[in-house]
Amino acid sequence: MLMVDLILKKRTGQVLTDQEINFIINEYVKSNIPDYQMSAFLMAVCFQGMNEHESTALAMAMRDSGKVYDLSKIKGIKVDKHSTGGVGDKVTLVLGPMVAAVGAKFAKMSGRGLGHTGGTLDKLEAIKGFQLEQSEEDFIELVSKHGLAVIGQSDDVTPADKLLYALRDVTGTVDSVPLMASSIMSKKLASGSDVICLDVKYGSGAFMHTVADAENLANVMVKIGKLAGKKMTAMITSMDEPLGHKIGNGLEVYEAIETLKGNGPEDLVTVVTEIGAYLTVDAKIFKTLEEARKELRKTLTDGRAFGKLREMVVAQKGDVSMIDHPEKFLTAKTHKIYADKAGFIESFKTTDIGTAARLLGAGRLTKEDVLDLDVGVDIHKKIGDKVEKGDLLATIYHNDKGLKQATEVLNSAIKIGKTQKPAELIAKVIR
């Protein structure tokens, strides 16, 4: 089998066999296929696409290129979620404790943020001492005992995906749907859970800008998961405005704690409740979505979900005093931005809001960048909100770095106009 023949086959729109896809991935990981040939193959996929079977074979080959977690020792059905990335997306921090509080086994391997999107691992590192690195045995024990654990993905999981992503990033082949879907699902399949919900974002703060694009990606990922034997759901959710109000690592932990105490923003609560409902119904904890929604919301007011967060933080050696006294996350200096006219919030440039937080030090441009876990932005308004001149629009939490630039970016990212129309939150659910 020759790589040049497989490049030509895909370039002419033919369907590759499982054996051919396995050959490509295995030989590339072994360095027997050079980058220039793999780049040509990736570009051929960008132009010609892949069918569902090819995409699944690619995801499985990347999954099998490294360690695959076996969570069978954990009693019960294991659940997991994945977000395609957004601004202010602290869903995992709220979802895990909620579903664990009703008896689900939430086994989550998370990643770090890059660019304007935040990563769950970076947020959890704002909790002093929190141990993200766990062995497979410790991970299984944590989930078995407490019902949840969030850990960092080990380096030996999906090495093929890491190599391919680095190459896609510099060859203009990132936004190919089969390549994106296979990349995401290879990691989800390696993580070992039985039930998966995908939160696929669209809008001004997402990688997919339209509902149609997000739906296309979601459909492929759901079919990959189904062919791999997983229970799958995908929710298409808006990122035309930040989720919740706070953007930045420690700030998002603060907002997650407030949400788990029953004081969270309604958009965040709605998204988390919907994802949790599908996960817990598929995990056979509840019979109906309505029953699941009702019970999950109840965990936010009766102390069970907050108790599970404390339990997880203690189990993973974090400083639980920061959970009990979340004001410890609000230590940075503040700078306020006010409305210069009256009207309604018409739109946000959500990516720019994420960029403003990154300029302050909350996000990274490269994986080696050191984050300031205390800084970020608090957006006080939502799309459709009425605004009077002089109203507080945003609070910047800063430690001097990037304040002037961030302020300029935020001022241009918030549009006040005459139209009042709230943003759509959940566009579609794919099962």
Cα separation of 309 and 323, whole Å?
Answer: 8
- The residue from 63, 108, 112, 168 that is catalytic is 168
Helices (H) and strands (E) in the chain, counts: 17, 13
- Sheet with strand 148-152: strands edge to edge: 148-152, 105-110, 78-83, 195-202, 231-238, 426-430
Q: What is the pairing mode between strands 78-83 and 105-110?
A: parallel
112, 92 contact by CB (below 8 A):
no
How is 360-400 classified by DSSP, letter by letter? HTSS-SSTTPPP-TT-EEEE---TT-EE-TT-EEEEEEESS
The question of whether 187 is a catalytic residue gets the answer yes
Q: Which pair of structure tokens corresponds to residue 250?
A: 């420690």
Annotated catalytic, 193? no
- Which stretches does DSSP call E strand in 26-147? 78-83, 105-110
> In sequence order, what are the residues at sequence separation of 6 or more whose Cβ sits closer than 8 angstroms to the Cβ of residue 205?
86, 87, 116, 239, 240, 241, 242, 348, 350, 351, 353, 354
- List beta partners, residue 236: 200, 428
- Cβ partners under 8 Å of residue 347, min gap 6: 204, 240, 383, 415, 417
- In 128-230 the beta strands, taken as DSSP E runs, fall at 148-152, 195-202
| 35 catalytic per annotation | no
Q: Measuring CA to CA, how many Å separate 372 from each of 134, 146, 252, 364?
A: 24, 30, 13, 10
Give 370: exposed, middle or buried? Use CB within 10 Å, 0-12, 13-18, 19+: exposed
Choosing from 105, 123, 187, 293, the catalytic residue is 187
Tokens representing 382 are 């939502």
Helix H or strand E segment including 271: helix 266-282
Give the residue among 368, 369, 428, 430 at the shortest CA–CA distance from 402. Answer: 369
> Of 78, 82, 308, 381, which is the active-site residue?
82
Neighbours of 390 (CB within 10 A): 10
Q: Respond yes or no: is residue 183 known to be catalytic.
A: yes
Contact yes or no for 69/187 (Cβ under 8 A): no
Task: Please tell me which residue in 110, 183, 193, 347 is annotated as part of the active site.
Answer: 183
Distances (CA, A) of 296 to 95, 106, 175, 292: 9, 14, 35, 6
80, 89, 161, 240: which one is catalytic? Answer: 161
Positions marked active-site: 82, 161, 168, 183, 187
